Structure 1
Amino acid sequence: MALAKGRRLTVAVLAAVTALGVSVVVAYRMLAPADVVTPATQPYPAAVTPKVGTDTRLAMAPLIVDDRLRVYATTRQVWADHPVDARTRRTAFWSLRRWPAEVSGVAAGGTTVLTRWSDGELVALDARTGEVAWRVTGPKPAEGYTGRLTGAETVYAPPGLHLATDAASGRVTAVVAGGGELVAYDLADGRQLWRASVDDNCRGESFTTAGGQLALIDTCAQPRAIELRDLSTGQPIAGRQPDVSGTDLAVTPVGCRAAASDCTALRVTAGGQTQGWRVDGETPVAVAALDAPGSVLVGDAVVGFEGTDLVVRSAQGAERWRKSAPDTTLLAAADGRVHLRTAGNDLVTFELNRGRELSRFPLTMYSDDTGWEAGYVQAVDGYVVVERLNRADPDLGDRAYYLGAEPVLIAVTGR
């Protein structure tokens, strides 16, 4: 009897040890650092010609890539679906998931999607296949995922991640800031172009200009000043910064693509005065029409409000056209179009050059509330993506901050 009991005890102990070993293996597989790349299994989709109107409502804010894909980000995953005008989220076309790192930012140029992670990893994906195009370890960002419910900040305004397109060569440069460094990479192959040391405690707003510079605000300088760096070398450019400074200097980039990239202008406030500057060339040029808050530069045109009129002027100040637009908000101006939201919650789109109305339709779906405020807005290739907020108070919880569980609309204004 004693021998039988001993055998049973031994078997029980071995079973417990085995179970513990299995659980440790399972836990390791679940918890160990891991990347899961799920490439596309279907051909790259063709571009679509969507119908005009608002027919898409989503929980997540998409980055529209190559007019074919919608790319999203959440805490530990970046993925794509299609078509762009699908009414709801679709099965992922491709996906990248990492653990325990968090997604810090996403940016796209052409068919390359660059993802930045909290551990400093930069992973570039080929949008056509979802496969890794290149990978390097860069500076660590100050934070991980900050996109909240929609991921809009992560894909539209990722901190410390910018792109810049060289007009002559077409080369796209990615600039990454963090850990006291600025590092630039060729987006095509991940080749490091330059590296520079900076004081993170003194680095304020940063963005890239359409003129091929990286703009930095030195918050420690007395008085504060704007610093422009050459994107091909990373070196400061002497004598080309806007001629303005002040202890209370504040800068707003204007006319930017996603990731505060290729900005056409900036607005500077210092000493109670506001000045607009065009920065789409080698040297910044003061433009009086850009002084007005909310005005934007698109090509050679300045779009803004004068009283209740929407007015489009040349950068030199000559009026091109105006329209009476009381109780109307300028949502975006890009790609030769001006997009307005009316008091009745219609989205009205005008042609930039002549002021011809291209489309007008309700900016809502189903029985959604229309008393919302616009959060992040992106306009590209005739699409307008709008994040809708109940109240623009970021201290609120997500339920109170966003308009419902699907606060993002994609509107099509024509091609």
Structure 2
Amino acid sequence: MGFPRGRRRLVMAVVALLATAAVAIIVHRVLAPAEVSTVARADYPAPARPAAGVIGRLPVAPLIVDSRLRVYAAHRQVYADRPVDGRHRTSPYWSYRRWPAELVGVVASGTTVVSRWSDGQLVALDAPTGRVLWRTDGPVPAESGAVVRRTGAATVWDPRGLHLTDLPDGRVVLVVTGDAQARGVELSGGRELWRVDLPGRCRSDVGTTASGQLIGLDTCAGPATVEFRDAATGAVRERWRPPGGSDELLVTPLGCRTGRSDCPALRTAGPGDAGGRGWLLGTGEPVAAPALDPAGAMLVGEQAVVVLDGVVVGRSARTGTELWRSAHLGTVRVLAGQPGRVHLLTEANDLVTLDPVSGRQLSRFSLNVGSDGTGWAPGAVAAEGGYLAVERLREPVDPDGDDRRYYLTAEAVILAAT
């Protein structure tokens, strides 16, 4: 005996309504914006002091934080592992994930790690615990068009539009830019200090100075001009062009603490220039520093280090006075610098680390791990806290190849203590 026709229709309508509601709930749970924060459940590790040499290899690029953790970028996740000198990547010490936004940049200062997301959200995490310290809205990131490869090196070593700088009063400011807007945010609590409109893609970021300014390159009206914007107020303090310079400029920050943050110098060059002109930055106009003119010159502290005719030369960046030279290293290139260390790479992929003040050799060893060998070309590089990490690329390098062709191995990043 069945239901009367009217009641059957009612039951069918109720079932259909319940099914629709169930599907809606499932879709909401899957697609709705969400975040998952997994905090640390172990003690904060002590700083490691490994002997000089290769530590290990990693599938992704590490950002060394507080000399205790390695922080990594994934598509929708920022996470950390330990120990900092571990041979391989380990289970996350803490993790922070958002959906559906994508992670576009990570910077760190002290024990604060700041992540930037594709929807403009800025999230600061506490390195010892992974807990969220603050959240705030920032400008939506500009479309870069750059290929984001699997190591995430561009996200943690060179995040565009995301910079740190130190103010004279000791505060640290996070400067965030997009196509149409820039904002300054106090790192300690996430308080917005200022926001200004930008003219668009005719203006681009160069980095931040060590004296609390955002460097921009403005080509919107007339010849290319370098602008220096106060990171405390957002006001443009200086607009500058190198004397006798070209109407078009390529501006490269030098000596930065990390990525393009806290840079004490820059190099300007015109189209087709083999080298350029080096400049030291302060509170006024840039000061010419000819020791930084060569394209391969690197600023490490107060010293300019460059390879000239096969000889490594260290000079005072301010006076140009030669401090030391080393002619016994063979064919080398200046790879990276960090406080108290300048790193050179030989033809055989030996890593040579010198004291930039005296030229004294601090360490030398082969950048080889396991049976990988040394037949590779260096890609992106980061040096921080006495560590050096290098992407290893398959030779001949194919910049248009997929990741499998581009990188030497699945664990493409080699990590060394220097």
TM-score w.r.t. the length of structure 2 is 0.92
Distance 1:179 1:220 in 2: 13
Q: Deviations over 1:30-76 (max 9, x none)?
A: 21110111111122211111122112100010110000110111110
Structure 2 counterpart of 1:286, one-letter code: A
Distance 1:242 1:197 in 2: 26
Distance apart, 1:204 and its partner CA? 2.4
2:309 matched residue in structure 1: 307
Distance 1:225 1:238 in 2: 10
1:320 matched residue in structure 2: 323
**Structure 1 position 378 matched with structure 2 position 382:** yes
SS in 1 for 2:201: helix
2:194 matched residue in structure 1: 194
Question: Which structure 2 residues correspond to residues 156-175 of structure 1 after superposition, within 5 A?
Answer: 156-166=157-167, 168-175=168-175
Alignment partner of 2:279 out of 272, 277, 280: 277
Asked whether the equivalents of residues 209 and 264 of structure 1 are also in contact (C-alpha less than 8 Å), the reply is yes
Structure 2 counterpart of 1:268, one-letter code: T
SS in 1 for 2:156: helix
**Structure 1 position 251 matched with structure 2 position 254:** no
SS in 2 for 1:26: helix
Structure 1 counterpart of 2:157, one-letter code: Y
Asked whether the equivalents of residues 199 and 220 of structure 2 are also in contact (C-alpha less than 8 Å), the reply is no
Structure 1 alignment gaps of length 5 or more: none
Asked whether the equivalents of residues 248 and 270 of structure 2 are also in contact (C-alpha less than 8 Å), the reply is yes
Distance 1:194 1:244 in 2: 34
Distance 1:44 1:240 in 2: 46
Asked whether the equivalents of residues 146 and 154 of structure 1 are also in contact (C-alpha less than 8 Å), the reply is no
**Structure 1 position 154 matched with structure 2 position 155:** yes
1:336 matched residue in structure 2: 340
**Structure 1 position 291 matched with structure 2 position 293:** yes
Asked whether the equivalents of residues 253 and 265 of structure 2 are also in contact (C-alpha less than 8 Å), the reply is yes
Distance 1:280 1:54 in 2: 37
Distance apart, 1:6 and its partner CA? 11
Distance apart, 1:395 and its partner CA? 2.1
Structure 1 counterpart of 2:387, one-letter code: Y
Distance apart, 1:243 and its partner CA? 3.8
Seen in structure 2, the aligned counterparts of structure 1 residues 14 and 110 have a Cα distance that, compared at 3 Å, is same
Deviates further, 341-350 or 325-334: 325-334
SS in 2 for 1:238: strand
Deviates further, 36-45 or 153-162: 36-45
Q: Deviations over 1:262-315 (max 9, x none)?
A: 112111112665211111554411011111011011222111111100100112
Distance apart, 1:2 and its partner CA? 4.8
Distance 1:177 1:394 in 2: 27
Distance 1:209 1:269 in 2: 19
Distance apart, 1:376 and its partner CA? 1.3
- Percent identity over the alignment is 50
Distance 1:260 1:362 in 2: 28
Distance 1:198 1:215 in 2: 13
**Structure 1 position 405 matched with structure 2 position 407:** no
Distance apart, 1:343 and its partner CA? 1.4
Distance apart, 1:88 and its partner CA? 0.8
Question: Which structure 2 residues correspond to residues 114-129 of structure 1 after superposition, within 5 A?
Answer: 114-129=114-129
TM-score w.r.t. the length of structure 1 is 0.92
Asked whether the equivalents of residues 337 and 352 of structure 1 are also in contact (C-alpha less than 8 Å), the reply is yes
Distance 1:231 1:6 in 2: 72
Asked whether the equivalents of residues 37 and 95 of structure 1 are also in contact (C-alpha less than 8 Å), the reply is yes
For the aligned residues, what is the CA RMSD?
2.4
Asked whether the equivalents of residues 311 and 326 of structure 2 are also in contact (C-alpha less than 8 Å), the reply is yes
Asked whether the equivalents of residues 206 and 252 of structure 2 are also in contact (C-alpha less than 8 Å), the reply is no
Asked whether the equivalents of residues 161 and 174 of structure 1 are also in contact (C-alpha less than 8 Å), the reply is yes
**Structure 1 position 85 matched with structure 2 position 85:** yes
**Structure 1 position 52 matched with structure 2 position 52:** yes
Structure 2 alignment gaps of length 5 or more: none
Distance apart, 1:101 and its partner CA? 0.3
Deviates further, 153-162 or 205-214: 205-214
SS in 2 for 1:201: coil
Asked whether the equivalents of residues 306 and 314 of structure 2 are also in contact (C-alpha less than 8 Å), the reply is yes
Q: Deviations over 1:119-145 (max 9, x none)?
A: 110111111111111111110002499
Asked whether the equivalents of residues 71 and 81 of structure 1 are also in contact (C-alpha less than 8 Å), the reply is yes
Seen in structure 2, the aligned counterparts of structure 1 residues 84 and 246 have a Cα distance that, compared at 3 Å, is same
Distance apart, 1:382 and its partner CA? 1.1
SS in 1 for 2:163: strand
Task: State the aligned residue count.
Answer: 412
Distance 2:397 2:206 in 1: 23
